[in-house]
Amino acid sequence: MCATRVSAETLKAFEPIGSLPDARLDEIAGLCQLETVARNSDPFLVRSVSGQAVYLLRGELVLTYPDGTSKVLVGGSERSRYPLAQRGEVFTSAKAVTDVELVRVDDDLLDVMATWAASVESRSKKTAKEGSALANWSMMSGMFSVSSLKYGAFSQLPPAHIEDLLQRFERVPVTKGDVVIREGAEGDFYFLIESGRCKVERMVGGVSMLLAELKSGDAFGEEALVSDVKRNATVTMKSDGALLKLAKKDFVELLREPLLHRVSADEARAKIAGGAQWIDVRYPSEYQYDKLPGAINIPLAEIRNAFGAGALDKGKEYVLYCQSERRSAAAAFLMAQRGYRAFVLAGGLWGEAKRR
């Protein structure tokens, strides 16, 4: 038995996965496998179908059912377009009549994507009926990627919030040179880039320093809303495009509170003992002065850069801290919306000091 990656074109033959947009299929293809099984073997002896949607792509497979009856399933047939062991068909054994190829997809992943697809379709129909500009949610990358919907921030949203969230975003056309948010201003909106590019700059010693460049699918503006502070950078469009903005009260209700996970000092220490990693998001000078044992330093301003540098592991838990939890909450949100398992030390180091 051997396994390789499956192509998006292959997935189009299956239901319900084949009804998803091409961009989504490209992403999902990277999260499922094409498995080859030799003739006369039991394809499910080592790996069962539990928790997975398993499709027969090629070859012939004989399935035996609890009542003793058997059925031969042929790859490429109408029945093979649907997952095995679903639609009420529970088999007790299986045998490959010929060499066969199976495609395995995580069941929960399919359910998440079906839920979002239905919400997007509903929102699209409503928007078209109203005659307003339509945000192309189905093509969104970055924050609305398959990985984020399954493992990241949006995987933790209550299903009832999904369509509500999509409805509350407002689409805003922008042109090159537009200043979307200005350093020092109050935080009022959370932004997602539908199309176009922008730059993030901060004044340091009277000089404007480039912090990051953002593209379609990236989000910004969350730091001021999560931490309840003024804007700490200026964001300017580098090209024409379109933004999706979410008002602060909607952001707090539908995103911030469901996604921020605070842990007590005792809970944090238990996680660290279990293999989690402390991240100090303060400035290096603060970190050097009173860092926690074993902590690594990734200042809030550099968190975005850490995503692309491969410095963080999505299979690992992280407990973030700062003085008050303001900066650590903002950093944890940034991490969570990209699929990292991030927790915030409640009250920060100040809270820890009070508890001693």
What positions carry a catalytic annotation? 322
Stretch (H or E) spanning 71: strand 70-74
Contact 339, 312 (CB under 8 A): no
Helices (H), 77-233: 107-130, 146-151, 159-168, 222-227
Tokens 């460049």 correspond to 213
Token pair for residue 342?
Answer: 């991030």
Helix (H) or strand (E) holding 194: strand 189-195
**Strands of the sheet with 241-247, listed across from one edge:** 170-174, 241-247, 189-195, 219-220
321: which strand partners? Answer: 280
Crossing angle of helices 107-130 and 159-168, in 10° steps, is 30
With beta carbons less than 8 A apart as the criterion, state whether 13 and 25 touch: no
d(CA 138, CA 220): 20
Q: ∠ at Cα 143 (277, 314), nearest 5°? A: 25
Asked if 214 and 270 count as a contact pair (C-beta separation under 8 A), the reply is no
**What CA–CA distance (Å, rounded) separates 320 from 317?**
10
Q: Could you tell me whether strands 277-280 and 189-195 are parallel, antiparallel, or unpaired per DSSP bridges? A: unpaired
Q: How many CB atoms lie within 10 A of CB 22?
A: 13
